[in-house]
């Protein structure tokens, strides 16, 4: 799809229809004049307002020179999928430039068919390209450019270029189709009840899934490109009269400042280039594969980032407590949703603290109260407990990786074999004791119950750190390590939002909405952490 001409680097969608608008302008951004080759001069003749490019970036007016330009700078005749269909219509030599891998055959065939109807007399008294543009082009989205760089960029994203010999401009026609799949149920955010459509690898499809749920003309999607070589499309989504303008401007600046060859791995690479969390294991961005979750966050004042080729969407700003919520809670009644939320909280806490606390009690029996006398181990096995824990941790990671890389028909068999080897033979041979296997299994279940995959991995690192601290320094080690991690999290900020909000800084009302799944009529305001323009979602009462 051809994206309309922007103002500056971004253009804002003024339409509520399910179409992204926006593209990088022909005019160069600051400091890129030599690379982009677009000046600010206007083209003369014909009343065209297309910017006049620098001399080295102009499109050749002779067909042979144009083809030579394509050969040197676009891989024509070297790359099999760069195709030029040369024809003659109304005594005018015409070339259609396209990528055969992205071209929609029916659309290009229809364009060629319509060009055969061109009347020579209709292009005698005016410029041929203008006549074709006005009367003979059956395409709903068309752009004009005089920049060779712009022409090649649009060709590489799948648009078809119409070149007429003797003209300094070309037409960029939307006649492409991307390889894509239909929306499927999200892998990491499944629900018992509710929609089963999830994001795909196609940006336009993902925007359409959000537009379907928010039919608001103030919903905006600004387009940018990241990567000097990959030219990856990135869309920033927000609701104009709700989103925090300071956060929006900060995000724009961060994305514009990215200077990298490309982000072929999609949203994760963009996150690292903008958030810059360094070696912090905790995720500072929430990912979601569900359009309904993204729509709800937009209505709450969040800003979303959609990266082409990524089947997940980034939600900003993000707090720790955003990462522990799941769509299933809002698909049940408030009471049941609260119960499920508390069960999930218990699972997350057990995945972090169960093993270190049990190990602490096993090493220091005098710390155990009488009602916890059953904790501990009667025998320690052939290996030290700390070594058993570390081996089981690594073993679970190996099984998880094996499950990911094993063909689907063999996953069940692999899991059974692994469970028998680790859970039965290892215990019988004395390598591990039953308690280690039991508590590690409970911790693993709590880890898998964590809604955010990234958060579950970070919690595992913290659990290992606590185990090592208990082994080295006993009670002081546990207290100091846990305190240091908590203080570190309170100092972290995600796009200037406190990571541990609403616990620190304390906000009783917001914390209550996290601990309890409130009935919808009582959810009258948006989270204050988003600093939205309009804080109230619905009238009081």
Encoded tokens for 396: 């679970």
* pLDDT (0 to 100) of residue 292: 94
Based on C-alpha coordinates, what's the Rg of the chain?
29
Low-confidence ranges of the chain (pLDDT < 70): 1-49, 122-126, 376-379, 381, 411, 414-416, 418-424, 540-541
* pLDDT (0 to 100) of residue 498: 93
* pLDDT (0 to 100) of residue 540: 60
* Residue owning tokens 């799948």: 158
Give the C-alpha separation, 354 to 370, whole Å.
Answer: 18
- Return the beta strands (E) in 13-91 as ranges: 38-42, 51-53, 82-89
Q: What angle do CA 77, 81, 83 make, to 5 degrees?
A: 60
Q: What angle do CA 461, 310, 2 make, to 5 degrees?
A: 155
Do 381 and 477 touch, CB atoms closer than 8 A?
Answer: no
* pLDDT (0 to 100) of residue 41: 35
Question: 296 to each of 237, 244, 302, 451, 526, how far by Cα in Å?
Answer: 13, 16, 9, 17, 11
Instruction: Pick the closest to residue 211 from 304, 127, 330 (CA basis).
Output: 304
Do 37 and 53 touch, CB atoms closer than 8 A?
Answer: yes
pTM over 0.85, yes/no? no
Question: 131 to each of 4, 87, 171, 338, 401, how far by Cα in Å?
Answer: 21, 17, 12, 65, 60
Looking at residue 459, the DSSP 8-state letter turns out to be H
* pLDDT (0 to 100) of residue 214: 95
Looking at residue 257, the DSSP 8-state letter turns out to be T
Encoded tokens for 12: 């804002």
Give the C-alpha separation, 29 to 6, whole Å.
Answer: 12
* pLDDT (0 to 100) of residue 12: 37
């Amino acid at each position: 799809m051809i994206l309309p001409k922007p103002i500056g680097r971004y253009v804002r969608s003024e339409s509520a229809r399910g179409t992204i608008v926006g593209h990088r302008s022909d005019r160069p951004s600051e400091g890129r004049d030599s690379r982009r080759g677009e000046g600010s001069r206007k083209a003369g003749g014909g009343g065209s307002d297309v910017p006049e490019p620098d001399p080295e970036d102009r499109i050749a007016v002779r067909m042979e020179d144009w083809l030579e330009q394509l050969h040197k700078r676009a891989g024509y005749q070297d790359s099999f999928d760069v195709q030029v269909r040369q024809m003659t219509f109304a005594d005018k030599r015409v070339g259609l430039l396209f990528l055969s891998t992205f071209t929609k055959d029916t659309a290009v065939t229809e364009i060629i068919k319509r060009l055969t109807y061109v009347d020579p007399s209709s292009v005698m008294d005016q410029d041929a390209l203008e006549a074709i543009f006005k009367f003979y082009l059956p395409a709903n989205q068309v752009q004009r450019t005089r920049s060779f760089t712009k022409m090649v960029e649009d060709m590489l994203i799948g648009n078809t270029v119409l070149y007429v010999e003797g003209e300094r401009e070309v037409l960029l026609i939307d006649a492409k189709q991307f390889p894509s799949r239909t929306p499927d149920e999200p892998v990491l955010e499944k629900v018992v009840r509710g929609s089963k459509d999830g994001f795909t690898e196609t940006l336009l499809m993902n925007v359409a899934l959000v537009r379907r749920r928010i039919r608001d003309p103030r919903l905006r999607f600004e387009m940018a490109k990241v990567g000097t070589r990959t030219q990856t499309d990135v869309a920033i989504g927000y609701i104009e009269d709700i989103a925090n303008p300071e956060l929006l401007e900060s995000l724009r600046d961060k994305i514009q400042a990215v200077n990298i060859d490309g982000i072929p791995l999609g949203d994760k690479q963009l996150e690292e280039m903008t958030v810059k969390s360094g070696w912090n294991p905790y995720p500072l961005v929430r990912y979601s594969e569900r359009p309904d979750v993204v729509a709800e966050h937009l209505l709450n004042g969040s800003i979303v980032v959609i990266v082409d080729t990524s089947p997940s969407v980034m939600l900003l700003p993000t707090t720790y407590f955003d990462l522990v919520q799941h769509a299933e809670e809002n698909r049940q009644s408030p009471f049941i949703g609260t119960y499920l939320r508390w069960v999930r909280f218990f699972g997350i806490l057990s995945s972090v603290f169960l093993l270190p606390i049990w190990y602490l009690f096993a090493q220091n029996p005098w710390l155990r109260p009488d009602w916890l006398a059953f904790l501990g181990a009667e025998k320690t096995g052939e290996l030290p407990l700390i070594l058993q824990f570390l081996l089981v941790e690594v073993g679970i990671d190996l099984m998880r990786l094996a499950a990911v890389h094993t063909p689907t028909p063999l996953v069940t068999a692999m899991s059974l074999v692994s469970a028998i080897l680790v859970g039965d033979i290892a215990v019988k041979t004395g390598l591990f004791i039953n308690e280690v296997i039991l508590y590690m299994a409970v911790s693993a279940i709590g880890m898998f119950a964590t809604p955010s995959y990234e958060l579950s991995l970070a919690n595992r690192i913290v659990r290992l750190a606590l185990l090592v601290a208990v082994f080295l320094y006993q009670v002081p080690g546990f207290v100091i390590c846990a305190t240091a991690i908590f203080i570190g999290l309170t100092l972290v900020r995600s796009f200037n939002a406190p990571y541990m909000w609403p616990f620190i800084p304390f906000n009783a009302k917001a914390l209550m909405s996290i601990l309890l799944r409130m009935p919808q009529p009582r959810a009258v305001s948006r989270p204050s952490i988003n600093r939205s323009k309009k804080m109230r979602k619905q009238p009081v009462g």
